[in-house]
Amino acid sequence: MLDRAPSPVTAVTDTLIHLAELALRFGRIDRTACYHPVLSKDGRLIKESDTDHTVMLGWLACALATRFWPELDQGLIAQLALVHDAPEVTSGRS
């Protein structure tokens, strides 16, 4: 029996699963810097996660660019905001 390369659908599925795993690991990183802590109803301090930080930055970066630099590519700004802390996934630190 011949070894075959995975089908295009399998290759895409495997890539998407890997990307989803990276995104979930990103959300579990304990941020060293916690700029926006929130006090929970039971009095616990909830630190900003990397995913909290990334979504917040994406919204702010796009809003500011739209207001002050409308000539910039909003899609590119959003993409850069999404990946700016991506190396933290492999290092496990912020």
Q: Note the pLDDT tens digit of each residue in 20-68.
A: 998 888 888 777 666 667 788 888 887 777 888 888 899 999 999 999 9
CA distance 42 to 8: 50
Report CA-CA distances (Å) from 83 to 1, 43, 88: 42, 32, 10
Greater confidence, 93 or 74? Answer: 74
CA distance 47 to 20: 23
pLDDT tier for residue 8 given thresholds of 50, 70 and 90? confident
Given a contact cutoff of 8 angstroms between Cβ atoms, the answer to whether 36 and 56 are in contact is yes
H or E stretch at 45 = strand 45-46
